[in-house]
Amino acid sequence: MIRLALLCLVLHPLSGQSLRELAEQHKTRIGAAVAPAHLGEEPYAATLAREFNQVQPENATKFGPVHPARDSYNFVPADTLAAFAREHQMAMRGHTLLWHRQNPRWLTEGNFKPEELSAILHEHINSVMGHFAGQIYAWDVVNEAFNDDGTLRHTIWSDGLGPAYIEQALRWAHEADPKALLFYNDYSAEAINAKSDAIYKMAQDFKTRGVPLDGIGLQMHLRARESIPFESMAANIKRLTDLGLQVQITELDVRLPVDASGVASRGDLGLQALIYRGIARVCLLSARCTALQTWGFTDKYSWIPGEYPGFGAALLFDANYGPKASYNAFRDLLMPSIK
């Protein structure tokens, strides 16, 4: 009987505990970036609610989508997601108040003087965070502010407001919703390197001077067939959490070469599963790595094929919502007895 049950578990992984049930036993969050427009698709909504206990809008709370004209906001798509999250007892993250991409034309082509740009940003932070106060528990306040060499990226914000714009945004964010956790979020800063050194120095300085910063988001857009520096990632997480910060994995995906129908080889799917397992392990081993989030969850909808032609299949579920080896790797790692 027991052997039969075990066999069923192996053959039908979905009959066991879901990722969110396992994550809840670890008191951690397993999240996914979501396009609210797909919530009407039954398998999309059912998979999301069954497997995840955290959501984040993939685009809906970025500056352009949420603040399309100077005097008007569009909260409808993110409100739809917030209602879904409430209905299914999921936590919600916000992404992102300041970035150099997906800004509306009225902002990028407005030729605003520094005082006016500053007032626009202050008002934006107040309005968006005020609207979602009590619904969004953590915000990526600033996204991708550094270049890979650790210098500050030229953006509408750094050029218009000067390098202190990051701490100013964090202070305004704290005033707008004092209960929200405030994150700085970036890519290619997972392991120890010039970019993560710059982020670490900034975080250390902010902690020393009392600038409100609660955590660092490590995006983790990875590809199989590259060597993943797990130990260096763990060391980076440790130095950040030693400052008293949380770390969250915010945008994990592992892209694979695919054929014209979007199908990857079995070998690459196996390599991908090892990477998913390794990242989950690095996060679970740190008590202050408080969320593990993937950038989407089904290969049906992912930014990868659009941005990297010839690549895809980067997520936990295939295009038909079937669980992949990466899903089983995540699940195995979250099983209480396995570490």
CB of 17 to ligand 9MR, least distance (A): 29
> Three-state SS for 182?
strand
Has 41 been annotated as catalytic?
Answer: no
Q: How far is the CB of 321 from ligand 9MR (least distance, A)?
A: 19
Q: Does 101 bind ligand 9MR (CB under 6 A)?
A: yes
Give the shortest CB-81-to-ligand 9MR separation in angstroms: 15
Q: If 0-12 CB within 10 Å is exposed, 13-18 middle and 19+ buried, where does residue 79 land? A: middle
Q: Which of residues 171-190 bind ligand 9MR (CB under 6 A)?
A: 187
Interface mask (CB under 6 A) for ligand 9MR, residues 109-148, using x and -?
----------------------------------x-----
Written as one letter, the residue type at 94 is G
Residue 323 DSSP symbol? B
Q: Which of 112, 301, 303, 308 binds ligand 9MR (CB under 6 A)?
A: 303
Which member of 144, 226, 231, 307 is catalytic? 144
The least CB distance from residue 280 to ligand 9MR, in Å, is: 20
102 binds ligand 9MR (CB under 6 A): yes
Q: Is 289 left (phi over 0), alpha (psi -120 to 50) or beta?
A: beta
| Distances from the Cα of 328 to the Cα of 10, 284, 325, 334, angstroms | 10, 16, 5, 10
Interacting positions 241-300 with ligand 9MR (CB under 6 A): 251
**Alpha-carbon gap, residue 146 to 250, rounded angstroms:** 17
Identify which of residues 141 and 334 has a Cβ nearer to ligand 9MR in the complex.
141
Nearer to ligand 9MR, 59 or 248 (CB): 59
Q: Assess whether 226 carries a catalytic annotation.
A: no
# residues near ligand 9MR by CB under 6 A: 9
Measured from the CB atom, is 189 or 333 closer to ligand 9MR?
A: 189
Nearer to ligand 9MR among residue 230 and residue 303 (C-beta): 303
Per-residue contact flags (x/-) with ligand 9MR for residues 210 to 249, judged by CB under 6 A: ---------x------------------------------
Query: CA-CA distances (angstroms) from residue 237 to 31, 40, 329, 338?
Result: 19, 37, 21, 21
Count CB-CB contacts under 10 A for residue 78. 27
Beta bridge mates, 183: 140, 215
Comparison of 17 and 74: residue with beta carbon closer to ligand 9MR: 74
CB < 8 Å & 24+ apart, contacts of 300-306: 300/44, 301/35, 301/38, 301/44, 302/253, 303/58, 304/253, 304/255, 305/258, 305/262
User: Binding to ligand 9MR by residue 108, rule CB under 6 A?
Assistant: no
Query: Which residue sits closest to ligand 9MR, CB atoms considered?
Result: 303
CB of 166 to ligand 9MR, least distance (A): 16
What CA–CA distance (Å, rounded) separates 274 from 265? 15
Q: Distance between CA 170 and CA 203 in Å, rounded?
A: 12
Pick the closer one to ligand 9MR by CB: 22 or 199. 199
Backbone φ/ψ region at 9: left (φ over 0), alpha (ψ -120 to 50), beta: alpha
Q: How far is the CB of 310 from ligand 9MR (least distance, A)?
A: 17
Q: Which of 51, 58, 177, 190 is the binder for ligand 9MR (CB under 6 A)?
A: 58
The single residue of 51, 58, 190, 251 carrying the catalytic annotation is 251
Q: Which residues contact 123 (CB under 8 A, 6 or more apart)?
A: none
- Number of separate helices (H) and strands (E) present in the chain: 14, 10
Q: Provide the annotated active-site residues.
A: 144, 251
Positions that interact with ligand 9MR (CB under 6 A): 58-59, 101-102, 143, 187, 219, 251, 303
